[in-house]
């Protein structure tokens, strides 16, 4: 009977708990939140985000605006270009916009290099984790150098988060460098370099060092004309100690100018180690490796970069870099870190990146710009991996700011195959072309993307050469609906 009594007691206790729970739920139902978890999407765990982007998103969320992306004015009929040196590319439908017209100065330099071996071409490739470890860029660089000449990996930072995964150069460094990045520092001790970083050898007990060894690529098998780039400081005691083989050379640092250079060797090296002695407070930017001929491509990749931090570049210092490098083309390859912020209205990003491109043109006078759209990215919907809903709205915003700022445009999303292409690249291609995060390309995929980019540039260049043969000696000033210098889309009928 005791056991039975206990069972009855437990039964009534359980029943009482159920009644009390039901009563509490009905009573509190009206004051409970409708959803425990927010519907807004956060950044993927596979990407990190720069602080400038976070501020821009926060500011956009505070703005009391219901304005939609105004695409109608862009979609009307065709974009008609004003002639440049007697050449005008055919009018373009907005949806198929490539903007070769705005790459004419670059194409002309390429033409002189190819036909007369005059000058050289320098390209700055700014990107996010898609170009981490020199992926995409190394194959694009190789293709350009195979076609037009040139040797060397270009500009390389002092430290790099992707140094261990890079094959185009072997890169090691000590752990006692003080590093400031434009991704998370608003007011650096000294202006950021062209790579978006500034480094300081502030350890007085142990000399910070960096070691470079040439890669295995056909065009990067030597460290051509290694040259240090560093900034201005009152410190007149700094020294650079270079070890190459059994030789040790001590060179004095003279940081009088806003941007200073120091040649390590007049000949190509296989490797060297550079240590910095008493160099505290001197801003160090990195080393450059090129043979001064053909084409050179610098990879300025940063994980988590949205592209917006470029707006923090110091114009005077960048003008100095332009004096030295004379960039002909800047490629902007962003998007991975801009997706998935709970809104499909990327008007704020379009406006911000338009300002970034205009800022770049002030930093690097005479440069042309090519915008690469976000790649496809797959997200799970109802247990199936499909193109993320934010991809197409973002590509539209990227195309819009390319048009607004008179830049070329490469729609990587469409070049991959459009809707559902990332899933195919991961699951159907053999071997696979992308990682299981359905976001990043693997080595094979990066090679293919580089080939697609190279092909589009060659397509535009081939068209340019054909039109160059037939161009008029006097530019036609009566071009209808010419491209306006303003940011408004007056170049669209």
Q: Of 291, 323, 346, which marks where a domain is finished?
A: 291
In a domain, 86, yes or no: yes
Domain count within the chain: 2
121, 131: one domain: yes
pTM of the predicted model as reported, rounded to 2 decimal places: 0.84
Using CA atoms, how far apart are residues 213 and 153, in angstroms rounded to an integer? 11
Co-location of 324 and 251 in the same domain: no
Do 78 and 135 lie in a common domain? yes
Q: What CATH number is given to the structural domain containing 441?
A: 3.40.50.1110
Which of 250, 275, 291 is at the close of a domain? 291
146 and 169 in a single domain? The answer is no
What is the model's pLDDT at position 42?
39
| Residues 207, 282 within the same domain | yes
Q: What is the pLDDT along the chain (493 residues), one digit of tens a residue?
A: 444 445 456 556 666 656 666 655 555 444 444 333 333 343 444 444 555 555 655 555 544 444 344 445 555 568 999 999 899 999 999 999 999 999 999 999 999 999 999 889 999 999 999 999 999 999 999 999 999 999 999 999 999 998 989 999 999 999 999 999 999 998 999 999 999 999 999 999 999 999 999 998 999 999 999 999 999 999 999 999 999 999 999 999 999 999 999 999 988 999 999 999 999 999 999 999 999 999 999 999 999 999 999 999 999 999 999 999 999 999 999 999 898 666 789 999 999 999 999 999 999 999 999 999 999 999 999 989 999 999 999 999 999 999 999 999 999 999 999 999 999 999 999 999 999 999 999 999 999 999 999 999 999 999 999 999 988 654 433 333 333 333 334 344 4
Q: Is residue 3 part of a domain?
A: no
**Distance (Å) of CA 430 to CA 56, 316, 444, 450:** 40, 49, 10, 18
> Do 308 and 286 fall into the same domain?
no
Token reading at 9: 């007691």
**What is the pLDDT, as a whole number, of residue 66?**
40
Tokens standing for 346?
A: 């990327």
Residue 25 placed within a domain: no
Same domain, 173 and 268: yes
**Residue found by looking up tokens 């060797």 in the block:** 265
Q: Does residue 385 belong to any structural domain of this protein?
A: yes
Per residue, the 3-state secondary structure of 445-488, as one string, reads: HHHHHHHHHHHHHHHHHHHHHHHHHCCCCCCCCCCCCCCCCCCC
pLDDT of residue 339: 87
Q: CB of 189 within 8 A of CB of 204?
A: no
Strand 294-301 relative to strand 120-127, pairing: parallel
- pLDDT for 35 equals 34
**Domain match, 73 and 116 both:** yes
Does 20 reside within a domain?
Answer: no
Distance in angstroms (rounded) separating the CA atoms of residues 254 and 261: 9
Give domain status of residue 164, yes or no: yes
As a whole number of Å, the CA-based R_g of the chain is 27
Nearest Cα residue to 456 out of 392, 400, 389, 411: 411
Cα distance between residue 453 and residue 137, in whole Å? 10
Specify whether 217 is located in the same domain as 245: yes
- How many Cβ atoms are within 10 Å of 8's Cβ, its own excluded? 10
Examine residue 32 and state whether it is found in any structural domain, yes or no: no
pLDDT of 482 reads 35
CATH code of residue 257 = 2.60.120.260
Same domain? 238 vs 338: no
Residues 257, 306 within the same domain? no
Residue 11 lies in a domain: no
C-alpha–C-alpha distance, residues 330 and 365, integer Å: 11
**Looking at the structure, do residues 334 and 467 belong to the same domain, yes or no?**
yes
| Of 244, 262, 291, the domain-final residue | 291
Report long-range pairs for 465-474 (Cβ below 8 Å, ≥24 apart): 465/107, 465/111, 467/87, 467/88, 467/89, 468/87, 468/111, 471/85, 471/86, 471/87, 472/86, 473/86, 474/86
CB 72 within 8 A of CB 469: no
Q: Show the domain range for 189.
A: 156-291
């Amino acid at each position: 009977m005791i056991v039975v009594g206990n069972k009855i007691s437990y039964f009534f206790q359980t029943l009482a708990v159920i009644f009390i729970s039901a009563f509490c739920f009905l009573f509190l139902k009206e004051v409970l939140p409708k959803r425990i978890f927010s519907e807004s999407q956060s950044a993927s765990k596979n990407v990190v985000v720069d602080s400038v982007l976070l501020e821009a998103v926060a500011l956009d969320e505070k703005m009391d605006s219901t304005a939609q992306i105004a695409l109608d004015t862009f979609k009307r009929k065709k974009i008609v270009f004003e002639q440049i040196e007697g050449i005008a590319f055919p009018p373009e439908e907005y949806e198929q916009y490539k903007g070769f017209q705005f790459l004419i100065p670059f194409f002309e330099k390429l033409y002189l290099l190819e036909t007369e071996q005059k000058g050289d071409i320098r390209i700055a490739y700014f990107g996010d984790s898609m170009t981490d470890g020199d992926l995409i860029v190394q194959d694009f660089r190789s293709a350009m150098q195979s076609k037009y000449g040139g040797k060397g990996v270009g500009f390389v930072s002092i430290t790099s988060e992707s140094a261990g995964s890079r094959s185009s150069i072997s890169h090691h460094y000590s752990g006692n460098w003080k590093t400031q990045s434009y991704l998370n520092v608003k007011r650096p001790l000294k202006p950021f370099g062209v790579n978006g970083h500034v480094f300081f050898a502030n350890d007085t007990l142990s000399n910070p060092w960096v070691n470079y060894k040439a890669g295995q690529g056909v065009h990067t098998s030597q460290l051509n004309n290694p040259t240090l780039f560093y900034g201005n400081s009152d410190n007149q005691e700094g020294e650079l100690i270079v070890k190459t083989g059994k030789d040790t050379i001590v060179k004095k640092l003279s940081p009088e100018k806003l941007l200073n250079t120091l040649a390590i060797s007049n000949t190509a090296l296989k490797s060297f180690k550079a240590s910095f002695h008493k160099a505290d407070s001197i801003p160090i930017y990195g080393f450059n490796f090129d043979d001064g001929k053909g084409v050179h491509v610098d990879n300025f990749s940063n994980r988590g970069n949205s592209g917006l931090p470029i707006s923090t570049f110091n114009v005077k210092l960048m003008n100095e870099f332009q004096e030295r490098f004379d960039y002909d083309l800047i490629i902007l390859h962003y998007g991975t870190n801009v997706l998935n912020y709970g809104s499909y209205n990327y008007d704020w990003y379009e406006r911000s990146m338009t300002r970034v491109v205009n800022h770049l043109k002030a930093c690097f006078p005479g440069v042309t710009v090519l915008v690469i759209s976000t790649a496809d990215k797959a997200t799970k919907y109802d247990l199936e991996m499909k193109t993320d809903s934010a991809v197409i709205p973002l590509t539209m915003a990227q195309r819009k700011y390319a048009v607004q700022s008179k830049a070329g445009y490469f729609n990587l999303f469409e070049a991959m195959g459009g809707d559902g292409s990332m899933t195919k690249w991961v699951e159907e291609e053999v071997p696979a072309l992308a990682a299981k995060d359905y976001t990043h390309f693997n080595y094979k995929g990066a090679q293919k993307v580089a080939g697609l980019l190279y092909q589009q540039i060659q397509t535009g260049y081939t068209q340019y050469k054909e039109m160059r043969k037939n161009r008029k000696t006097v530019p036609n000033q009566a071009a209808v609906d010419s491209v306006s210098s303003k940011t408004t889309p007056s170049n669209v009928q």
